[in-house]
Amino acid sequence: VRYLLDKGHDVLGFSRSKEPEDVFLPYKWLDKGQDRFCFEQADLNRDLEKLIGIIEKEKPVYIINFSALGMVAQSWKKPEDWYQTNVVAQVKFHDQLRKLEFIKKYVHVTTPEVYGSTDGWISESFNFNPSTPYAISRAACDLHLKSFIDAYN
């Protein structure tokens, strides 16, 4: 956020959680640019229509998606929650985004967890080898998005 604001961009940020205290938000420390950041609380599982409505209103040309349910160890306790958020909700989100012609670029941020345990550096050419429900959910989302790219460009 801070980098984009420093470069003069307007930024719209979404989170399922409330915005934390300013001490945890480096963009709030900026001398200028804070007026170009807008925060919206919305849960991808429950508020998809709200998210898409705001996106349609604001018409961003770039979307960078960091959204996911993380917490690797906890994903073993109730994996269906990770699949719901990291696969099902993302698939619905992607399906809505693909219909919006004003979007020039969509960046999906994933995790090295999709490659499992490896020795040394990894690259995107490595085969997926997820070993936790979290990693499986992220790999499934990544593969789904690849199918969207192949089908819809």
- CB within 8 Å of 15: residues ≥ 6 apart: 39, 41, 42
DSSP 3-state of 112? helix
What are the beta bridge partners of residue 64?
A: 107
Q: What is the DSSP letter of 108?
A: E
Nearest CA-CA partner of 63 in 92, 7, 105: 105
- Residue predicted with more confidence, 15 or 91: 91
pLDDT at 120 over 80: yes
> How many angstroms separate the first and last alpha carbons of the chain?
27
Q: Could you tell me the pTM of the whole model? A: 0.87
Q: Using alpha carbons only, what angle is made at residue 16 by residues 13 and 19, rounded to the nearest 5 degrees?
A: 60
- Calculate the CA 137 to chain-centre distance: 13
Comparing 31-35, 43-47, 96-100, 107-111, the range with the smallest average pLDDT is 31-35
Q: Name the burial class of residue 137, with classes exposed (0-12), middle (13-18) and buried (19+) by CB atoms within 10 angstroms of its CB.
A: buried
Structure tokens that stand for 64 in this block = 């960078």
Query: Band of the pLDDT at 125, cuts 50, 70, 90?
Result: confident
- In the chain, the domains with their CATH numbers are 69-152 (3.40.50.720)
What confidence tens digit (pLDDT) does each residue in 9-49 have? 899 989 888 887 877 777 777 667 678 888 889 999 999 99
Please tell me the distance from the alpha carbon of residue 33 to that of residue 63, in angstroms, as a whole number. Answer: 19
